[in-house]
């Protein structure tokens, strides 16, 4: 058990160390102007500096809060809608082309319109993130729900379950895995969209920080911003995966 | 003729036909089938695969309605599934998100079955032991073998105490050893709990070994070819398979089924391929 944990840590760390080595290697190779690539230790020093003196935490908090509420609201709406579409064939025929139309639009392309209608406040960002999470989540939900096998419902009926019991004891447990997948997909899309929306108009947030730094060619700050976004997205995904593992112990997973 | 009410009839197919509308036209699956199942009967329905035997069972279970004719259960037309008719599906349908114990308890916790909560644990315990699943009570179905899943499906169906069991090729996917064990277990349970059974199978030996009456069904559309009484009394054990009557019966039924199988093959074979 201990050995396997150590092995997993080593396996997990190796690519990161590789990236840092590669990073230094590119600097030392002399192929690129040194002022264009800050060294990893310089970026680390900048990170500490920003954290202590420039309120990096406020930016992180602003971005994370936007993603959290955007995704939460988007998925809250996507679950019932995706469920209805997956469950009722006629609802799908009715709404499917529409959903695919809106899903195909990159949320970033809508930012100018959102600014026109909702201004540049928090509301505008929330609208964009809601849009991005809703459409990515709704697809995952309805694909998943439409694949629920009717066998389990038949079994429940032969055991005497009424409609409400079928919903609560069969359909909900079968829907949970799809809700979690929808959440993960929506989180990924929401981070991508968030940074784009902050690049255009925001006082604080990681996207805004990157945008301001680029104006003054402060590459180390840009690197700090990018790494922070990656790390927060990774942590959120890990938390979700941990929750999934707890909730879905029953699932058959290919592991070795 | 015995007056209705005097008999112990549980289920009846009364001139039942069923057809589907397909793009190629109307497809008749079951054609004018009539027979009765009495209390305590063990009926095996046998015929070539794809002939419509499962459809027959499905109508009694309440998942399909006949196009013409009536399917009666306890004298009333079947309108939908219900806990008094337990169904054991070919694909088992064990709930993967529940542990073995929770699967068995599923039916007991439903409103329709009125099981007092004080008795639920005891019933679970009984069927866990009976089906040899006690050691796996808290495991999820992903850890069970095919035979164990099958036993779990049977335990779950039995737990709500249906007096009538519908089994759709329940042992079809099991290996020969497990299959023989499951057949014996079924006979053993029936001996103590006295139920009426309708079993769909394509194994002639299984039908003779288990059933009191065998309904041989034709190639699609399913009609009744012959209804045969099995001359062995219960309790039965494997020794009956050595008896001369068993062999004769097997020969007779096998011939009937093989004829229908050939008829079915002829139906499906493209014209250009015919000899």
Q: Note whether B8 and B38 are within 8 A (CB).
A: yes
Q: What is the mean pLDDT of chain A?
A: 87
Provide the 10 A C-beta neighbour count for residue A253.
8
A54-82 as b/e: b if 16+ CB within 10 A: eebeebbebbbebbebbbebbbeebbebb
A167 DSSP assignment = I
| Residue A6: predicted pLDDT | 86
Distance CA A137, CA A142 (A): 9
Strand B25-38 and strand B9-22: the pairing is antiparallel
C-alpha A71: how far from its chain's center?
A: 8
Is B110 in contact with A152 (Cβ distance < 8 A)? Answer: no
- The pLDDT, as a whole number, for residue B206 is 93
Could you say which of B87, B95, B157 has the minimum Cβ distance to residue A152?
B95
Instruction: Give percent of chain B with pLDDT exceeding 70.
Output: 95
Q: What is the DSSP letter of B203?
A: -
User: Model confidence at A3, in pLDDT bands (50, 70, 90)?
Assistant: low
Residue B37 near residue B163 (C-beta atoms within 8 A): no
Q: Are B155 and B133 in contact (CB under 8 A)?
A: yes
Q: How many residues does chain A have?
A: 256
User: Looking at the partner chain, which of B83, B93, B160 has a beta carbon nearest the beta carbon of A151?
Assistant: B93
Distance from CA of A201 to the nearest CA of B (A): 46
Q: Give the whole-angstrom CA distance, residue A31 versus residue B28.
A: 77
Q: Residues B173, B152: contact at Cβ < 8 Å?
A: no
- Contact call for residues A132 and A70 (beta carbons, < 8 A): yes
pLDDT recorded at residue B193:
80
Are A128 and A205 a contacting pair, CB within 8 Å?
no
HSE of B81, CA atoms in CB hemisphere, 13 A: 22
CA atoms within 13 A on the CB side of A139: 17
A contacts of B78 (beta carbons < 8 Å): none
| CA of residue B14 relative to chain centroid, distance | 19
Instruction: Kindly state whether A80 is in contact with chain B, defined as any CB-CB distance less than 8 angstroms.
Output: no
Mean pLDDT of A227-249: 89
Over the stretch A164-212, which tens digit does the pLDDT of each residue have? 999 999 999 999 999 999 999 999 889 888 878 887 677 788 888 988 8
Q: Are B110 and A160 within 8 A, CB to CB? A: yes
Instruction: Report CB contact under 8 Å: A157, B142.
Output: no
Residue-wise pLDDT tens digits, A20-54: 999 999 888 888 888 888 888 889 999 999 888 88
Q: What is the pLDDT of residue A2?
A: 56
B220 pLDDT above the threshold of 70: yes
Instruction: Identify the closest residue of chain B to A150 by CA–CA distance.
Output: B93
Listing DSSP states for B60-113 in one string gives: HHTSS--SEEEEEETTEE--S--TTEEEE-TT----TTS-HHHHHHHHHTSGGG
Alpha-carbon separation of residue B176 from B147, B149, B205, B206 (angstroms): 11, 16, 12, 11
A159 closest CB neighbour out of B91, B96, B106: B106
Residues of chain A found within 8 Å of residue B139, distances taken between Cβ atoms: none
Contact A67, A190 (CB under 8 A): yes
Q: Which residue out of A152, A159, A252 would a mutagenesis test of the B interface target, given it has the greatest number of B Cβ atoms within 10 Å?
A: A159
State how far residue A154 is from chain B, nearest Cα, in angstroms: 8
Provide, rounded to the nearest whole percent, the portion of chain A with pLDDT above 70.
Answer: 96
CB < 8 Å to B62, chain A: 157
pLDDT of B138-147, one tens digit each? 999 999 988 8
Find all residues with CB under 8 Å of B155, minimum gap 6, and list them.
Answer: B103, B104, B127, B128, B130, B131, B133
**Is B160 close to A162, i.e. CB distance below 8 A?**
no
Look over chain B and give the mean of its residue pLDDT values, rounded to a whole number: 87
Task: Tell me if chain A has a CB within 8 Å of the CB of B114.
Answer: no
Whether A158 and B112 lie within 8 Å, measured CB to CB: no
- Look at A159 and B107 and tell me if their CB atoms are within 8 Å: yes
With a CB cutoff of 8 Å and minimum separation 6, the contacts of A97 are: none
Higher pLDDT, A256 or B140: B140
pLDDT level of residue B134 (50, 70, 90 thresholds): very high
- Predicted confidence at residue B15, as pLDDT, reads 93
Q: Are B35 and B198 in contact (CB under 8 A)?
A: no
Burial category of A215 from C-beta neighbours within 10 Å (exposed 0-12, middle 13-18, buried 19 and up): exposed
pLDDT score, position B175: 82
Q: Residue A34's pLDDT is what?
A: 81
Under the banding of pLDDT at 50, 70 and 90, the label for residue B270 is: low
- List the single residue in A with minimal CA-CA distance to B95: A152
A254 touches chain B (CB under 8 A): no
The pair of structure tokens assigned to A136 is: 């990515």
Output the pLDDT for position B58: 92
Instruction: Compare CB distances from B61 to A158, A160, A169 and report the shortest one's residue.
Output: A158
Helix (H) or strand (E) holding B164: strand B164-168
Residues of A in contact with B160 (CB under 8 A): 159-160
Distance from CA of B68 to the nearest CA of A (A): 24
pLDDT confidence tier of residue B271, bands split at 50, 70 and 90: low
The angle formed by the CA atoms of residues B229, B232 and B236, to the nearest 5 degrees, is 135
Tokens of A2: 């201990």
- Confidence class of residue B7 from pLDDT cuts 50, 70 and 90? low
Residue-wise pLDDT tens digits, B78-132: 999 988 899 999 888 999 999 999 999 999 999 988 888 888 999 999 999 888 8
- Predicted confidence at residue B52, as pLDDT, reads 84
Alpha-carbon gap: B232 to the closest alpha carbon of chain A (Å): 31
**Contact between B67 and B32 (Cβ < 8 Å):** no
Residue B5 has pLDDT above 70, yes or no: no
Chain B residues inside the 8 Å CB shell of A245: none
Binary contact (A161, B112; C-beta < 8 A): yes
CB B41 within 8 A of CB B197: yes
* Angle, CA A241 vertex, CA A238 and CA A247 arms, to 5°: 145
pTM of the predicted model, to two decimals?
A: 0.80
The arithmetic mean of pLDDT across residues A79-99, rounded, is 85
Cβ of B113 within 8 Å of Cβ of A161? The answer is no
Q: Are B87 and A174 a contacting pair at CB < 8 A?
A: no
In 3D space, the residue among B226, B228, B231 whose CA is nearest the CA of residue B260 turns out to be B226
CA atoms of B170 and B200, how far apart (whole Å)? 8
Give mean pLDDT, residues A141-170. 90
pLDDT in tens, B37-70: 999 899 999 988 777 888 999 999 999 999 999 9
Q: Are B140 and A165 within 8 A, CB to CB?
A: no
The pLDDT of B151-171, averaged and rounded, is 90
Whether pLDDT at B2 is above 50: no
How many angstroms separate the CA atoms of A74 and B34, rounded?
A: 56
Q: Are B56 and B105 in contact (CB under 8 A)?
A: no
């Amino acid at each position: 058990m201990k050995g396997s944990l150590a092995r997993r840590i080593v396996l997990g760390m190796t690519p990161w160390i590789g990236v840092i080595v590669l990073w230094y290697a590119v600097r030392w190779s002399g192929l690129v102007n040194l002022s264009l690539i800050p060294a990893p230790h310089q970026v680390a020093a900048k990170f500490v500096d920003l954290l202590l003196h420039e309120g990096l935490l406020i930016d992180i908090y602003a971005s994370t809060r936007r993603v959290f509420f955007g995704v939460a609201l988007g998925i809250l709406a996507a679950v019932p809608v995706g469920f209805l579409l997956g469950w009722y064939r006629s609802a799908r025929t009715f709404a499917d082309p529409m959903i695919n139309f809106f899903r195909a639009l990159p949320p970033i392309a809508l930012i100018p319109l959102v600014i026109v209608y909702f201004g540049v406040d928090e509301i505008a960002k929330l609208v964009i993130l809601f849009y991005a999470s809703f459409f990515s989540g709704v697809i995952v939900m309805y694909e998943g729900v439409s694949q629920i096998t009717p066998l389990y419902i038949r079994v429940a009926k032969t055991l005497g379950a009424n409609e409400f019991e079928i919903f609560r004891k069969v359909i909900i447990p079968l829907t949970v895995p799809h809700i979690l997948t929808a959440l993960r997909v929506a989180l990924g899309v929401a981070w991508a969209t968030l940074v784009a929306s902050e690049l255009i108009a925001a006082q604080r947030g990681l996207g805004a920080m990157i945008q301001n730094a680029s104006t003054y060619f402060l590459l180390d700050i840009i690197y700090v911003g990018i790494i922070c976004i990656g790390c927060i997205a990774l942590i959120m995904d890990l938390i979700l995966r941990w929750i999934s593992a707890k909730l879905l112990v029953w699932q058959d997973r290919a592991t070795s | 003729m015995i007056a209705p009410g005097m008999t112990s009839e549980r289920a009846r197919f009364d001139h039942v036909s069923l057809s589907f509308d397909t793009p190629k036209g109307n497809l008749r699956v079951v054609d004018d089938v009539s027979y009765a199942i009495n209390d305590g009967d063990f009926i095996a329905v046998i015929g070539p695969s794809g002939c419509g035997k499962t459809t027959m069972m499905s109508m009694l279970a309440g998942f399909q309605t006949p196009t013409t004719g009536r399917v009666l259960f306890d004298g009333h037309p079947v309108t939908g599934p219900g806990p008094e008719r337990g169904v054991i599906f070919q694909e088992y349908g064990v709930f993967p998100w529940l542990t073995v114990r929770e699967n068995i308890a599923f039916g007991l916790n439903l409103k329709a079955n009125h099981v007092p909560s004080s008795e639920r644990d005891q019933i679970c315990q009984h069927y866990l032991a009976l089906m040899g699943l006690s050691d796996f009570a808290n495991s999820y179905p992903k850890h069970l073998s095919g035979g164990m899943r099958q036993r779990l499906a049977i335990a779950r169906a039995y737990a709500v105490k249906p007096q009538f069991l519908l089994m759709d090729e329940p042992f079809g996917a099991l290996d020969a050893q497990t299959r023989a064990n499951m057949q014996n277990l079924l006979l053993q349970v029936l001996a103590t709990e006295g139920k009426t059974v309708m079993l769909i199978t394509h194994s002639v030996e299984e039908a003779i070994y288990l059933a009191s009456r065998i309904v041989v069904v034709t190639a699609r559309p399913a009609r009744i070819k012959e209804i045969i009484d099995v001359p062995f009394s219960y309790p039965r054990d494997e020794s009956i398979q050595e008896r001369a009557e068993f062999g004769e019966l097997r020969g007779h039924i096998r011939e009937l089924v093989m004829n229908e199988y050939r008829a079915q093959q002829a139906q499906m074979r493209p014209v250009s391929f015919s000899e």
